[in-house]
Structure 1
Amino acid sequence: MREILFRAKRIDNGEWVEGYPVKYPSGEAEIFKECGEPPDILLRCEIHPETLCQYTGLHDKNGKKIWENDIIRVENSADEGTGQVEFYGGMWYVDKGVNNSLYDIMMYDDEAEVYTVGNIFDNPELLK
């Protein structure tokens, strides 16, 4: 079974937090993170909803989790480029950064070099 996980930037300090999102009718959004230590079993963090990103279930060459809206660099014998991770047509892609087209990151293998270099919120200049 695949791991379903989200991350977003906290409102109070701007740091990234991973967990499970909740959006209230008021429009406020929080992420709940399991801490596992009683009495604080859940850590509740108010987040910027526009920064909410889903985990793809994949890791880059350095073992780092690949998230929606990450900027990744692909370098292998057939493909090269930098682009933004997006969910499209039921699959995770790098949008238009690799050979100026969609690159299916689910299909990379040991020969592909895929590195997370940033994300669109902290490093938008990497897409220029």
Structure 2
Amino acid sequence: MRDSKFRGKKINYGEWIYGVPVFDGDKAWIVKRIGDNFSADEVHPESVGQYTGLKDKNGEEIYGGHLVARVRSVRTGTTRRRVGRTYNEYAVTSEILVVGEVRFGTPEKYPMDGAVSWYVYTDQSTSYPSYFWGDGKASDKPYHATNNLSEFLDPKCSYEIVGSIHDNPELLQPQGGSQE
């Protein structure tokens, strides 16, 4: 069984503290034990995040609200090759840096799954041409498929903590837009 750990950002000093959260209305505190005594510090309620049970590639614990980054190989295009009397469509992939916020819940990308889990939310997406198939023939005119890059938090992936949604929201702003 893993430990339930939490953190929150102190109201007075803006530093991150770790312990057990206590909520009362619109206020929150992080309580920590020091020997036989307890200490409670008021924190911004929206900053309280739970430990995911995973660490980033540098050994740092990943909490809800962290911003993580990883390089992903994603589909960014399509190529067609004629094979006999038909065409085959092949994916063109590129490696891009994806930055997202660690959240808990059901990702908007997978609403029908109903799965509740840790995931990485991002507005980043790729758009690429694809071709409709009908009666074994490919269309001559491509349509643009779009793929949002949000994903479930995968323990096999090499994430790196790059900040916090509370300290660095600008890191979620698109860097030059989506890959098109």
| TM-score, normalised via structure 1 length | 0.82
1:14 alignment partner in structure 2:
14
- Segment drifting more, 94-103 vs 65-74: 94-103
Selected match of 2:105 from 79, 88, 96: 88
Aligned residues: 121
1:44 aligns with 2:45: no
> Which digits, 9 at most, give the CA deviation of each residue in 1:3-47, with x for residues without a partner?
21111111121111111011225x432110122x24xx2121011
Instruction: Output the TM-score relative to the length of structure 2.
Output: 0.60
Percentage of pairs with the same residue: 38
Residue type of the alignment partner of 1:88:
G
Are 1:108 and 2:107 counterparts? no
Name the Cα RMSD after superposition. Answer: 2.0
Q: Which runs of 5+ in 2 are unaligned?
A: 75-94, 107-115, 126-147, 174-180
CA-CA distance at 1:66 after TM superposition: 0.5
Partners of 2:20 and 2:31 within 8 A in 1: yes
Matched letter for residue 117 of structure 2: M
**Residue 30, structure 1, aligned to residue 29, structure 2:** yes
**Structure having the higher Rg:** 2
Report the residue type matching 2:22 in the other structure.
V
1:63-78 paired onto structure 2 within 5 Å: 63-76=59-72
Aligned partner letter, 1:86: R
